[in-house]
């Protein structure tokens, strides 16, 4: 991490000051080691807690959407006050730790054990390159974005391992679905962020955030989501991220109404909890990457709000995105397998490719000013909205609009 | 430094060797993926970050999926996953193909004038690497892309072919 100017606000420097106070007396190689260990510990603690309360938030919000209270009976320890079921995550943790760990007799013992470990390991190492704040980047890599998606690509392999090793037909079906889903959605996910790299001119997460600095007319931030290609890329990225993290409406590998619990069928106790942990970590990491690539990273949305420390802005954006994911899960029905793959190959991939050309146009016309700027916006908008409308019509031909025959409209 | 290299090399070669020796195709495929990880670790050891991540992304993320998909779709049951013991014809064709690949690779390696290791490690940014890939080496990149597409199509064709002895076709 680079040296920090003492002129910056205290809150911005606080994490570093705290760390240096703790490790400042150590000689150099040890200091680096301890600093890295502290970074790892903080990431695990912060996102572990976020995971715990995210499960609670998800269950409460899903409950509200479905007109039921959600978990509300878990009292806070020792004081017996039922405060919105706030202690539920800890009760769940104790439960999954103390449950019996069942491994089927016919299962592939080694792979069955290895699958949750591999899944969780690869979900966690993706956090290493996300810039959580102005000075809070755990590892600065020249090819940080590539590292992130390389680590993320290995997670679906673990889902396959789990499904295949369980020696259960539902699990095997889930494994096949997971593979098909990964092959289909890996492409739009990768193609969605390539325009950002093209325009920012760097694969480093820190430099991508730096490239989104500044204000238009003094108050509009230069985030990529506020450009035509950036908005399209953001939406494609979020859709593909939902599919990559096996979230509803793309949770086909564990579709509980079709496959019991898919690849999780033969897992119990703490291994089951590890799968859940990895799913939420994957979702948090992909949201963090979406923020970094499209939503300006840790930057404040308005100039006069810049006194709030950068990591607070990152956290706020992260929570908004995660709540959006929960909202999507509560709202949309699950896709069918053929719809899932058709949507990826016939809609998202071509749209992402067109968007790449759009970003190339944007990058080539960056010197246009005045009236030409308006033309630039118009052309870019047409380049993405046109194909969207045309392909959407073709995809939904014969399907939409839906006719409600039995329900009054 | 050399101990790390030896460790990575042993891990890569051992997993590749065991992958060939095993009879269970899924285990072989997973070990092959472990071997690809070893290659990525080697690139990291050599300081080629970009190549290492690209290796993981392409091989572990995509090619492994195609391999596993092909294995799963072309087998009828779990028992079918074990390959029957090799016959003489198989051994001969394996030797022939292996020897051909080895000769081609060896010739290519010996024909290349390898530079003596420079004293200072060159630092190449991703931008320079990209310019090289898109400029002088664009043809090679396109050929690699075509090979990957052919492999994907091959997997689909293998999987989509109706087997004459499948249950649906039985009288």
Which positions 140-159 of A are in contact with B (Cβ < 8 Å)?
A: 141-143, 146-147, 149-151, 153-154, 156-157
Separation CA B50–CA B124 (nearest Å): 10
Domain that holds residue B144: 2-82+124-162
**Residue A328: is it exposed, middle or buried by C-beta count within 10 angstroms (0-12/13-18/19+)?**
middle
Phi and psi angles of residue A221, each rounded to the nearest 5 degrees, phi first: -70, 150
pLDDT at A1: 43
Q: What is the largest CA-CA distance in chain B?
A: 73
Mean pLDDT of B151-155: 76
Are residues B107 and B42 part of one domain?
A: no
Chains A–B, number of C-beta pairs less than 8 Å apart: 66
pLDDT at B129 over 90: no
Token couple for B27: 């285990």
One domain for residues B60 and B89: no
Q: How far is A146 from chain B (nearest CA, A)?
A: 6
Mutation for B interface: A115, A140, A146, most B CBs within 10 A:
A146
Residue B20 lies in a domain: yes
Q: Give residue A106's pLDDT.
A: 79
Beta carbons of A284 and A47 less than 8 angstroms apart: yes
Nearest to A353 by CA among A173, A152, A231, A194: A194
B75: closest CA among A250, A172, A247?
Answer: A172
Residues 6 or more apart whose Cβ sits within 8 Å of residue A258: none
Rounded Cα–Cα distance for residues B170 and A291 (Å): 55
Q: ∠ CA(A265), CA(A239), CA(A341), 5° rounding?
A: 65
Is A180 within 8 Å of B125 when comparing Cβ atoms? Answer: no
Assigned token pair, A6 = 């003492």
DSSP designation for A18: H
Q: Choose among A143, A150, A201: nearest Cβ to B61.
A: A150
**By the 8 A CB rule, do A60 and A89 touch?**
no
Residue in A383, A337, A391 with CA at minimum distance from that of residue A364: A383
Task: Collect all residues with Cβ–Cβ distance below 8 Å to A40 and sequence separation of at least 6.
Answer: A138
Whole-number Å distance between alpha carbons of A368 and A383: 18
Looking up tokens 């689909």 gives B156
pLDDT at B171 over 60: no
Quick one: tokens of A256?
A: 């509980």
Burial of B36 per CB tally in 10 Å (0-12, 13-18, 19+): buried
Q: How far apart are CA A243 and CA A181, in angstroms?
A: 7
Residues 6+ apart with CB under 8 A from A39: A138
| The pair of three-digit structure tokens given for residue B160, joined into one six-digit string | 């989509």
Give the span between the Cα atoms of A212 and A220, in whole angstroms: 11
Residues B15 and B51 in one domain: yes
In a domain, B152, yes or no: yes
Q: Is A106 on the interface with B (CB under 8 A)?
A: no
Provide φ and ψ at A357, rounded to 5°. -60, -40
Q: Is the pLDDT of residue B81 over 60?
A: no
Residue B57 within any structural domain of the chain: yes
Crossing angle of the two packed helices A28-65 and A88-98, in degrees rounded to 10: 110
Examine the domain organization and report whether B25 and B91 are in the same domain.
no
* Residue B118 belongs to a domain: no
Residues of B in contact with A154 (CB under 8 A): 56, 60-61
Q: Which two tokens stand for residue A50?
A: 């976020």
Instruction: Assess whether B60 and B74 both reside in one domain.
Output: yes
What is the rounded distance in angstroms from the CA atom of residue B91 to the CA atom of residue B99? Answer: 12
CB contact under 8 Å between A175 and B60, yes or no, is: no
Number of domains in chain B: 2
Q: Determine, yes or no, domain membership for B167.
A: no
Going by C-alpha positions, the residue among A267, A99, A240 that lies closest to residue A181 is: A240
Q: Are residues B16 and B70 in the same domain?
A: yes
* Average pLDDT per consecutive 10 residues, chain A (409 residues; last block may be shorter): 62 75 75 82 88 87 86 75 77 85 81 87 87 81 84 81 83 82 84 87 83 77 84 90 82 75 80 87 90 85 78 88 89 82 87 89 81 82 85 76 69
pLDDT on residue B100: 94
Q: For residues B95 and B68, state if they share a domain.
A: no
- Residue B11 CA to residue B20 CA, distance in Å, equals 14
Minimum mean pLDDT among A264-273, A390-399, B125-134, B155-164: which range? B155-164
| Predicted local confidence at residue A19, as pLDDT | 76
User: Which residue from A389, A114, A373 is spatially nearest to A232, judged by alpha carbons?
Assistant: A389
The per-residue pLDDT for B170 is 46
Residue B77: band (very low, low, confident or very high) from pLDDT cuts 50, 70, 90: low
CA A196/CA A79 separation, integer angstroms: 51
Let me know if residue B14 belongs to a domain. Answer: yes
Longest dimension (CA), chain A: 76
Residue B127 with chain A: CB contacts under 8 Å: 201-202
Q: Are residues B53 and B35 in the same domain?
A: yes
Give the tens place of pLDDT for each residue, B25-62.
888 888 888 898 898 888 888 877 888 888 888 888 77
Residues A101, A158, A250, A186, Cα dihedral to 10°: 170
Kindly state whether residue B54 falls inside one of the protein's structural domains. yes
What is the model's pLDDT at position B86? 63
pLDDT band for position B79 (50/70/90)? low
pLDDT of residue A5: 61
Helices (H), A88-168: 88-98, 109-125, 144-153, 155-165
| Minimal CA separation from A147 to chain B, in Å | 5
Which of A113, A128, A143, A162 would you mutate first to test chain B, the one with the most B CBs within 10 A?
A: A143
Among partner residues B26, B49, B61, which is closest to A164 by beta-carbon distance? B26
Distance of CA A179 to the CA centre of its chain: 19
The Cα A138–Cα A316 span in angstroms is: 19
d(CA A44, CA A36): 12
Query: Do B17 and B44 fall into the same domain?
Result: yes
Any idea what the CATH number is for the domain that residue B45 is in? 1.20.120.1200
Give the domain ranges of chain A: 99-392
> Residue B104's pLDDT is what?
94
- Same domain as B103, residue B76: no
Same domain, B104 and B133: no
* Contact criterion met (CB below 8 Å) for A2 and A302: no
Residues B50 and B70 in one domain: yes
Does residue A100 contact residue A268 with C-beta atoms inside 8 Å? yes
Reduce the DSSP state of residue B119 to 3 states and report it: coil
In terms of Cβ atoms closer than 10 Å to its own Cβ (0-12, 13-18, 19+), residue B121 is exposed
* C-alpha separations of B44 from A127, A141, A248, B53 in Å: 19, 12, 36, 8
How many CA atoms lie less than 13 Å away from A374 in the CB half-sphere? 2
B170 domain residue, yes or no: no
Give DSSP secondary structure letters for B27-91. HHHHHHHHHHHHHHHHHHHTT-HHHHHHHIIIIIIIIHHHHHHHHHHH-SSSGGGBPPPP-HHHH
Q: Does A201 touch chain B (CB under 8 A)?
A: yes
Q: Is A158 helix (H, G, I), strand (E, B) or coil?
A: helix
Q: Is the predicted pLDDT of residue B102 greater than 90, yes or no?
A: yes
């Amino acid at each position: 991490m680079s040296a920090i100017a003492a002129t910056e606000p205290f809150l911005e420097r606080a994490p570093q000051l705290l760390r240096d106070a703790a490790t400042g007396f150590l000689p150099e190689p040890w200091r680096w080691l301890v600093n890295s260990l502290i970074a790892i510990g903080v990431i695990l603690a912060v996102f572990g807690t976020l995971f715990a309360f995210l499960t609670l938030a998800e269950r409460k919000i899903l409950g509200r959407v479905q007109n039921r209270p959600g978990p509300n009976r878990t009292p806070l320890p020792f004081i017996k006050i039922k405060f919105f079921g706030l202690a539920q995550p800890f009760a769940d943790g104790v439960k999954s730790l103390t449950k019996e760990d069942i491994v089927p007799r016919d299962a592939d013992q080694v792979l069955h054990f290895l699958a949750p470990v591999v899944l969780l390991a690869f979900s966690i190492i993706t956090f290493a390159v996300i810039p959580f704040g102005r000075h809070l980047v755990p590892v600065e890599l020249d090819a940080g974005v590539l590292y992130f998606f390389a680590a993320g690509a290995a997670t679906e392999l673990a889902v396959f391992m789990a499904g295949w090793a369980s020696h259960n037909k539902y699990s095997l079906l889930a494994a096949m679905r997971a593979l098909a889903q990964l092959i289909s959605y890996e492409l739009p996910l990768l193609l969605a962020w390539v325009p950002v790299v093209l325009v920012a001119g760097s694969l480093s997460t820190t430099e991508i955030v730096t490239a989104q600095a500044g204000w238009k007319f003094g108050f509009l931030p230069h985030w990529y989501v506020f450009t035509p290609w950036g908005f399209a890329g953001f939406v494609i990225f979020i859709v593909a991220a939902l599919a990559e993290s096996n979230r509803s409406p793309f949770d086909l590998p564990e579709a509980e109404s079709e496959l019991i619990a898919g690849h999780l069928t033969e897992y119990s106790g703490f291994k089951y909890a590890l799968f859940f942990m990895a799913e939420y970590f994957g979702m948090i990491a992909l949201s963090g990457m979406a923020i970094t690539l499209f939503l300006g990273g840790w930057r404040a949305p308005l100039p006069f709000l810049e006194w709030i420390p950068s990591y607070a802005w990152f956290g706020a954006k992260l929570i908004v995105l995660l709540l959006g994911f929960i909202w999507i899960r509560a709202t949309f029905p699950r896709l069918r397998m053929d719809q899932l793959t058709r949507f990826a190959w016939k809609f998202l991939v071509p749209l992402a490719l067109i968007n790449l050309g759009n970003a190339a146009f944007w990058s080539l016309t960056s010197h246009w000013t005045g009236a030409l700027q308006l033309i630039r916006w118009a052309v870019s908008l047409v380049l993405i909205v046109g194909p969207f409308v045309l392909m959407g019509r073709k995809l939904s031909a014969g399907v939409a609009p839906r006719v409600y025959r039995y329900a009054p409209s | 430094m050399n101990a790390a290299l030896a460790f990575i090399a042993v891990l890569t070669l051992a997993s590749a060797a065991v992958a060939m020796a095993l009879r269970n195709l899924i285990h072989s495929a997973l070990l092959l993926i472990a071997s690809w990880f070893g290659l990525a670790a080697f690139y990291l050891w050599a300081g080629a970050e970009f190549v290492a991540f690209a290796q993981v992304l392409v091989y572990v993320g995509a090619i492994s999926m195609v391999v596993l998909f092909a294995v799963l779709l072309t087998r009828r049951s779990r028992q079918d996953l074990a390959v029957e013991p090799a016959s003489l014809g198989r051994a001969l064709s394996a030797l022939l193909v292996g020897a051909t690949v080895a000769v081609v690779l060896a010739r290519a390696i010996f024909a290349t004038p390898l530079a003596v290791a420079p004293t200072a490690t060159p630092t190449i940014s991703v931008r320079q690497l990209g310019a090289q890939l898109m400029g002088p080496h664009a043809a090679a990149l396109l050929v690699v892309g075509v090979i990957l597409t052919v492999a994907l199509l091959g997997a689909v064709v293998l999987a989509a072919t109706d087997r004459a002895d499948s249950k649906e076709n039985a009288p």
